[in-house]
Structure formats: structure tokens, C-alpha cells
């Protein structure tokens, strides 16, 4: 059996007097691989039947990238190090082959490992994502629970954003369907904006602690651990405090008012673009009584737990104030006594706990947001003043039930509550809620900037806004 070992020069430096106190990382079960290429904290490994065509330079480049990712994640962000507090420490196995694509996890109780196609090994964002799974595994938290699978992916993509803050990955997924419950598997790779919001406010420890302080193997609590439940426990938050954070987060998403918001705004584009999958980004309300300014969210568009709606408000000419009366449709009890005995149904039927957080965001000509006080409860009134120079006005409504809804990964959709609401508004109208234009028999298409109809015989600039 042929075997070769290769170390980076950093592993061959002369030992300094204090270096004997540094941790020494060994290769786990080296006899199982014919080829081993090592760096300080990683070992790339494969056998002949893995058909790995990478050159030594390509292998070392990948390992060097992993060392940079590790340095950021552990030393700057402060995520818990694998084997923390243990005497025996091992290099993370990077198993390379011509099979599959990329998976990060581990073996045994706490040995982080990665399995990657040789082409995936060349892409740093992929390595950054899968390395997150390695250290998640090493942290021992959020295992063997039906509520945590989505969080592994959400957190991994958020960590990639820390490595590459000018990119946003596939986080447009949440933007395209913000009314879905937070943690839905439909956007598990792209719903990390809430973690970014918390990081901006509290720093990295609030996210790291979710992993390091969650229940570990052997603790009976681990089977029911839930990321948001752990967050509340760690921070000593009540459900009302968590609900306030989600309500404020939803308001910030009207303009992506984050420290690195420029990257998000560039990635997501304008809310005016309602083409294709973007059509649900802005909620269009059903008119109830236009003469009295009464509108409601369509039932299918009503937000689920920690989902939200954004509604663009258009001021009426000459108005100096806008008045909003809000009313949530309260559900007092569940509508069913039991489920249908299908897969992924919760074992218990929780109470609806109908509640909402809502508010108004006014955006000035420079794009700076001004926020109304956060409103709470099933009914309320809000008045805000206008200067006549507003660029945009947004109504944000987030579903924040008073009873914590611990939702399983891939839980049946019909078991998840929605939280309908309605408003009476004076001084402005919800955009898009007027009578639909009849285009029967006409050729043309909705304009991508605003969604208004443009006949095929008309010429409209791409930069124009057509409502």
C-alpha cells in the first residue's frame, strides 16, 4: 500500500519555547487511507478507488483555504473548537472522492469530518459551508431532535456570509416568501437573516451559545431541543421578548437595515420587481370596503409563526398624516381535536395564541428608514406624520403567537397556524389593492418594475415604474 504525507511549512517551523503548550492534532485512523495530505488542523485523505485527480498544489490550496475558514470561525467569530477541553485532538478528516458532492458532519461521538467531490474541494464557499457542519457536529448540540435539521443549514449559510459578507447566497428564498413560518425547510439554506439581525445587535456570542449551551448527548432535553427555544433559554427571554425581536426584524427587512445591508440590497434588488418568484415579496391586500379604507390579507398569504407581510403604502395627495387601525383575527382554540395519523404530524395540538407585532417604516429620499413604535396585540391604532418627501412607506405585520410554536422539520403544512389580519387606513392606500385591469384578449406582459400591464404595442423603459 502506497502512502505519502505532506505538511504545510507552518507545521515544520522550529518550535519556540512556548510552543510545547500548544495543542497537537493527530490523524485519526491513518491506516484507513492510502493517501494523506496534512495541514495543521486538517487531513485530506483518499484511496485509489476514489479516483482523485487533484494535484498536490490543488490539495494544499484547499487545505490552506480550510485553515483560513477555521481561523475566522473559531478565532474571530468565537465558535466552540472541536475537542474543546479534551486531551486527545484530531485533525478533521476531509474525505475526497469522485462520488457525491459535499457533506459535512462527523463520525463517532465527536470526530468532525467532511466528504467532498474533488471538484467541490476547489470551491471555498462550499468548504466554508461544510466546515460549519463539521464544527456543529463537534459542538455536540442540536442532535437527535425533530426540530433542528433546518437550523444546521441556516446557520451554515450564515457562517458563509461571515466569510464572504459581500455575498448573500440563496437568501432570496426568505425574501420571496416571507409569510412562511421561520424555519421552514423550503428556505432552510436562505433564512439566516434573523441570525444576522441578532449578531448586529448582540454580537457573535448570541449565535455561538445556541450551539455550545444546547443540550448534549445523554441529556434527555436534547430530543426536544428547538433553536428558538434554546435562544430564549440562553438569553432568559420571555415569549414576548422573542416576539418583539421578530417584529423589529420584520420592520428592518423593509429596507434591509443591517450593518452589511448594502450586500443584501444588491443581492435582492428592488421590491418593485414582482416578476417570477418575486411576486410574493410584497403582500397585496384584498379590499373589503375601499370607501372606508378597509383591507385584509388573503387567507393563503396570512403569515405563519414568525412569518411576516410587507405592504407598500401610497400616500394620498396632500395628506400630512396616515392613520391605521389594525385588527388581527383571533382564533381562540384549535379547529381540530386530532390529526389524521400521517407522517410529520406533531404529537400535540398547541393553542393558536393569536398575536401580532406590526409597525410602519418610512423611508426618506436617501434611503434612511424611520420606524414607528412597535405595535403589539390583536388590535391597535397608529398615526404617523408625513413630510411629503417620503420615498417609500411600508406596513410590516409579523405573526408572533403568545404560545411558542415548536415546529418540527418538515412538519405537515396543514398543522401550522396562519394569523390573518385586516386594517382600516386613512391618508394612504395599499399598493396593488385596487381593481385588477382586464387584459383579456390583449397581448403583452406585466412590467418587471412594478408589475403593471404593458401592451406589446407599447414601449416602456426598463427603468420605468409601472403599477
pLDDT at residue 20 in the model: 37
pLDDT at residue 458 in the model: 82
Topology of the domain covering 9-139: Glutaredoxin (3.40.30)
For the stretch 121-152, pLDDT in tens is: 999 999 999 999 999 999 999 999 999 999 99
Distance CA 284, CA 300 (A): 11
More reliable by pLDDT, 89 or 341: 89
**12 pLDDT tier (thresholds 50, 70, 90):** very low
pLDDT at residue 460 in the model: 81
Evaluate if residue 448 carries a pLDDT over 80.
no
Question: Domain limits of the chain?
Answer: 9-139, 170-430, 439-467
Q: Show the cell assigned to 362.
A: 418610512
Q: Show the cell assigned to 402.
A: 403568545
Q: Show the cell assigned to 5.
A: 504525507
Topology of the domain covering 170-430: Jelly Rolls (2.60.120)
Mean pLDDT of 149-172: 98
Evaluate if residue 17 carries a pLDDT over 70.
no
Given this chain, do its domains 9-139 and 170-430 carry the same CATH topology? no
Which helix (H) or strand (E) element contains residue 94? strand 92-97
Is the distance from CB of 172 to CB of 186 less than 8 angstroms?
no
Evaluate if residue 467 carries a pLDDT over 90.
no
pLDDT at residue 145 in the model: 95
Mean pLDDT of 11-28: 58
CA nearest 161: which of 258, 92, 278? 258
pLDDT at residue 265 in the model: 97
Angstrom CA distances, 372 to 19, 86, 158, 258, 263, stand at: 56, 50, 29, 17, 25
Q: Show the cell assigned to 268.
A: 435582492
More reliable by pLDDT, 329 or 466: 329
CA nearest 399: which of 171, 229, 242? 242
* C-alpha neighbours within 13 Å on the C-beta side of residue 455: 8
Mean pLDDT of 401-410: 94
pLDDT at residue 19 in the model: 37
Question: Which of 100-109, 174-183, 453-462 is least confident?
Answer: 453-462
**4 pLDDT tier (thresholds 50, 70, 90):** very low
**459 pLDDT tier (thresholds 50, 70, 90):** confident
Is the distance from CB of 232 to CB of 239 less than 8 angstroms?
yes
pLDDT at residue 465 in the model: 55
Q: Show the cell assigned to 259.
A: 450593518
Sheet holding 92-97, edge to edge: 35-38, 42-46, 92-97, 111-117, 102-107
Share of the chain above pLDDT 70, in %: 91
pLDDT at residue 340 in the model: 86
Distance CA 256, CA 265 (A): 6
Distance CA 231, CA 213 (A): 9
For residue 213, what are the contacts with CB-CB under 8 A and spacing of at least 6?
141, 230, 234
For the stretch 195-243, pLDDT in tens is: 999 999 999 999 999 999 999 999 999 999 999 999 999 999 999 999 9
Evaluate if residue 35 carries a pLDDT over 70.
yes
Q: Show the cell assigned to 424.
A: 382600516
Share of the chain above pLDDT 90, in %: 84
**117 pLDDT tier (thresholds 50, 70, 90):** very high
**8 pLDDT tier (thresholds 50, 70, 90):** very low
Average pLDDT over the chain reads 92
For the stretch 264-308, pLDDT in tens is: 999 999 999 888 899 999 999 999 999 999 999 999 999 999 999
Amino acid at each position: 500500500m502506497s502512502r505519502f504525507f505532506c505538511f504545510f511549512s507552518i507545521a515544520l517551523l522550529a518550535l519556540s519555547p512556548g510552543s510545547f503548550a500548544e495543542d497537537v492534532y493527530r490523524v485519526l485512523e491513518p491506516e484507513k487511507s492510502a493517501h494523506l495530505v496534512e495541514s495543521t488542523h486538517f487531513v485530506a485523505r483518499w484511496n485509489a478507488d476514489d479516483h482523485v485527480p487533484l494535484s498536490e498544489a490543488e490539495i494544499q490550496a484547499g487545505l490552506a483555504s480550510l485553515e483560513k475558514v477555521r481561523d475566522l470561525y473559531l478565532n474571530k467569530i468565537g465558535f466552540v473548537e472541536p475537542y474543546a477541553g479534551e486531551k486527545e485532538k484530531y485533525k478533521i478528516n476531509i474525505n475526497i472522492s469522485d462520488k457525491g458532492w459535499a457533506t459535512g458532519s462527523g463520525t463517532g461521538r465527536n470526530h468532525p469530518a467532511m466528504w467532498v467531490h474533488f471538484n467541490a474541494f476547489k470551491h471555498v464557499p462550499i468548504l466554508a459551508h461544510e466546515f460549519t457542519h463539521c464544527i456543529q457536529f463537534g459542538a455536540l448540540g442540536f442532535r437527535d431532535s425533530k426540530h433542528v435539521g433546518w437550523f444546521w443549514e441556516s446557520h451554515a449559510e450564515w457562517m458563509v456570509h461571515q466569510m464572504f459578507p459581500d455575498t448573500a447566497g440563496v437568501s432570496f428564498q426568505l425574501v420571496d416568501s416571507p409569510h412562511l413560518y421561520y424555519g421552514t425547510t423550503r428556505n432552510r439554506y436562505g433564512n439566516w437573516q434573523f441570525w444576522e439581525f441578532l449578531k448586529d445587535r448582540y454580537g457573535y456570542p448570541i449565535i455561538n451559545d445556541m450551539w455550545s449551551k444546547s443540550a448534549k448527548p445523554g441529556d434527555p432535553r436534547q430530543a426536544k431541543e428547538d433553536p428558538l427555544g434554546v435562544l430564549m433559554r440562553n438569553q432568559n427571554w420571555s415569549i414576548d421578548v422573542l416576539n418583539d425581536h421578530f417584529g423589529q426584524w420584520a420592520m428592518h427587512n423593509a429596507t434591509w437595515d443591517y450593518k452589511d445591508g448594502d450586500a443584501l440590497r444588491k443581492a435582492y434588488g428592488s421590491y418593485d420587481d414582482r416578476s417570477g418568484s418575486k411576486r410574493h415579496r410584497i403582500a397585496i391586500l384584498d379590499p373589503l370596503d375601499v370607501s372606508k379604507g378597509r383591507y385584509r390579507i388573503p387567507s393563503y398569504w396570512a403569515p405563519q409563526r414568525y412569518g411576516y407581510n410587507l405592504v407598500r403604502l401610497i400616500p394620498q395627495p396632500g395628506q400630512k398624516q396616515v392613520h391605521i387601525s389594525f385588527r388581527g383575527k383571533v382564533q381562540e382554540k384549535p379547529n381540530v381535536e386530532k390529526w389524521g395519523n400521517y407522517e410529520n404530524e406533531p404529537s400535540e395540538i398547541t393553542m393558536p395564541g393569536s398575536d401580532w407585532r406590526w409597525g410602519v417604516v418610512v423611508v426618506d429620499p436617501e434611503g434612511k428608514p424611520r420606524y414607528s413604535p412597535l405595535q403589539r396585540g390583536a388590535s391597535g391604532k397608529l398615526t404617523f406624520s408625513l413630510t411629503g418627501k417620503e420615498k417609500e412607506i411600508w406596513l410590516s405585520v409579523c405573526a408572533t403567537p403568545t404560545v411558542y410554536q415548536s415546529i418540527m422539520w418538515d412538519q405537515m403544512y396543514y398543522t401550522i397556524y396562519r394569523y390573518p389580519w385586516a386594517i382600516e387606513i386613512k391618508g394612504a392606500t395599499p399598493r396593488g389593492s385596487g381593481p385588477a385591469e382586464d387584459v383579456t384578449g390583449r397581448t403583452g406582459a406585466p412590467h418587471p418594475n412594478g408589475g403593471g400591464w404593458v401592451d406589446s404595442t407599447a414601449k416602456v423603459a426598463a427603468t420605468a415604474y409601472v403599477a
